[in-house]
């Protein structure tokens, strides 16, 4: 991952506050909500935070660079 892409991810997550003081990503069962889109968690990980983070990184990568 390039430093530029790391900064892009950090800005996207940091700006996702949904009216709260700190960033939040709501989730339920096997999916989470980010920028109005329902994204499935990455089932290859055990911890919920990892499932969300790695799925979000992949989502942002595809959004920015395409396939």
pTM higher than 0.75? yes
d(CA 46, CA 32): 16
The answer to whether residue 64 scores a pLDDT higher than 90 is: no
Specify the pLDDT at position 40: 92
Tokens describing residue 35 = 């920028």
Burial grade of 36 (CB within 10 A; 0-12, 13-18, 19 or more): exposed
d(CA 42, CA 48): 9
Specify the pLDDT at position 55: 94
pLDDT in tens, 15-43: 776 656 666 677 788 999 888 889 999 99
């Amino acid at each position: 991952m390039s430093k530029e892409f790391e900064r892009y991810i950090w800005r996207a997550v940091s700006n996702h506050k949904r009216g709260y003081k700190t960033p939040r990503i709501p989730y339920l069962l096997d999916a989470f909500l980010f920028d109005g889109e329902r994204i499935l968690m990455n089932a290859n990980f055990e911890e919920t935070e990892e499932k969300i983070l790695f799925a979000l990184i992949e989502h942002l990568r595809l959004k920015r660079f395409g396939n």
